[in-house]
Amino acid sequence: MKDNTGQLSDRKKLILKAIIEAHIELGEPVGSKYLMKNKSINYSSATIRNEMAELEEVGYLEQPHTSAGRVPSELGYRFYVDSLIEGYDLTAKEIGELKSTLTEKQSELDHILNTAMQLASSMTNYTALAVKPKFHGFTVKKFSIVPVDEYDFVLVMITATGETKTRNLRSDREVTPEAAAMMTELLNTHLVGVRGSDIKFDIVLEMERRMGEYGFIVSPIVKSIHEALTEDGGGELMVEGVNRLLSYPEYSDVDKLQGLLSLFEKKDDLLDVISDESEADRSDSVRVFIGSENVVKTMDNSTLIFKPIMQGDKTVGAIGIIGPTRMDYSRVIAMINRLTDGISEIMNDRRSLAAPKTPEGGETGGEAT
């Protein structure tokens, strides 16, 4: 019976799964003779050929040239990822490498992302990405006013994602250390967790009233905070293992390979895709874009898989893999899950450990941005 409903029979699912996994391993069209060697498929060659023909008719398989074998279509890969894929069990060696990477004494997110990206590329033999997504504004979890001298001081903002942003400010009138401490207390009372667009004029007036004779410093400080909170972050994309693509026949077409290489070089398109997707769906689920599902046309013969790294309910980064649509999906998804979950755990542990150690109104260092 032909299947035009999209609800595949168990036999069709078994045969489709076997074809996809054989094609992932071999990189060649898969025929009925090869499938008959699969111990889990106990059907005649004629039955297998009929099922393959019907799977082709409903769009899950394609027949390249005049070959008797079939290869998965994008629709076939999508059905495999959504419905047929089995969890990949990492080997003891793989688990050991991941644990070793994730337990290193690394203090910076950039370092953690870079190390994880290198490991992901080497363990999957695909190109790996590490992303610090673009962001549209941010909120602050702690403010500090740090005096430099009587007229100069530094506004320090610890963002909700743990980054430090600073602004150098100068007053025409003398500001005492006591006034700086009072202003720090007021900022932490009224503006922690507040977005730039939500800063109200009456809050500014209240802070000016509370500051008394030093109310003149409130307006320039709040203006600087508003500008910082509403600016867009540029994001960052790191790439590892581009040369690994050369080992796959899918990239033997020079024009297609050149298009993908230019994508890695310019970076903005990939950064936009990952940042926008992470912003639209604030969850830690794995995203899989197969072939033409990618909005970037130069990736129409490639698959992009990535997963955001969460710190609390904030996306602070992402780890991804790019390779041919003939990808070892099960293994790649398992690897990315383990890596990103481990990084999220590290980031959240550090966040909870660091919070009590930061004294109210204490001085916090940071580079001016």
> Which CATH number goes with the domain that contains 14?
1.10.10.10
Residues 271 and 296 placed together within one structural domain of the fold:
yes
Residues 346 and 247 placed together within one structural domain of the fold:
yes
pLDDT at 282: 64
Distance CA 86, CA 123 (A): 19
Provide the mean pLDDT of the chain: 85
- Tens of pLDDT, residue by residue over 277-307, are 876 666 678 999 999 999 888 898 899 999 9
Question: Can you give the pTM of this predicted structure?
Answer: 0.69
Range of the domain at 59: 10-84
Distance CA 367, CA 132 (A): 19
Helix (H) or strand (E) holding 18: helix 10-26
Residues 180 and 273 placed together within one structural domain of the fold:
no
Q: Is residue 5 part of a domain?
A: no
Residues 99 and 125 placed together within one structural domain of the fold:
yes
Q: Is residue 362 part of a domain?
A: no
Residues 238 and 309 placed together within one structural domain of the fold:
yes
Residues 46 and 101 placed together within one structural domain of the fold:
no
- Tens of pLDDT, residue by residue over 121-133, are 999 999 999 988 7
CB 104 within 8 A of CB 229: no
CATH of the domain at 315: 3.30.450.40
Q: Is residue 69 part of a domain?
A: yes
Per-residue pLDDT at 265 exceeds 70: yes
Helix (H) or strand (E) holding 322: strand 314-324
pLDDT at 293: 93
Joined together, the tokens standing for residue 367 give 């580079």
pLDDT at 368: 33
Residues 26 and 160 placed together within one structural domain of the fold:
no
Residues 191 and 242 placed together within one structural domain of the fold:
no
Q: Is residue 181 part of a domain?
A: yes
Q: Please name the amino acid found at residue 66.
A: T
Q: Is residue 359 part of a domain?
A: no
For the ranges 163-167, 228-232, 238-242, the lowest mean pLDDT is seen at: 228-232
Quote the percentage of the chain above a pLDDT of 90.
49
Per-residue pLDDT at 145 exceeds 80: yes
pLDDT at 234: 63
Choice between 367 and 189, residue whose per-residue pLDDT is larger: 189
Joined together, the tokens standing for residue 238 give 């790191």
Burial of 77 (0-12, 13-18, 19+ CB in 10 A): buried
pLDDT at 169: 94
Residues 294 and 151 placed together within one structural domain of the fold:
no
Q: Where is the domain boundary, 84, 116, 148?
A: 84
CB 320 within 8 A of CB 330: no
Residues 327 and 272 placed together within one structural domain of the fold:
yes
pLDDT at 117: 92
Residues 208 and 275 placed together within one structural domain of the fold:
no
The pLDDT of 86-102, averaged and rounded, is 80
pLDDT at 136: 64
Q: Is residue 3 part of a domain?
A: no
Confidence of residue 3 (pLDDT cuts 50, 70, 90): very low
Q: Structurally, how many domains does the chain consist of? A: 3
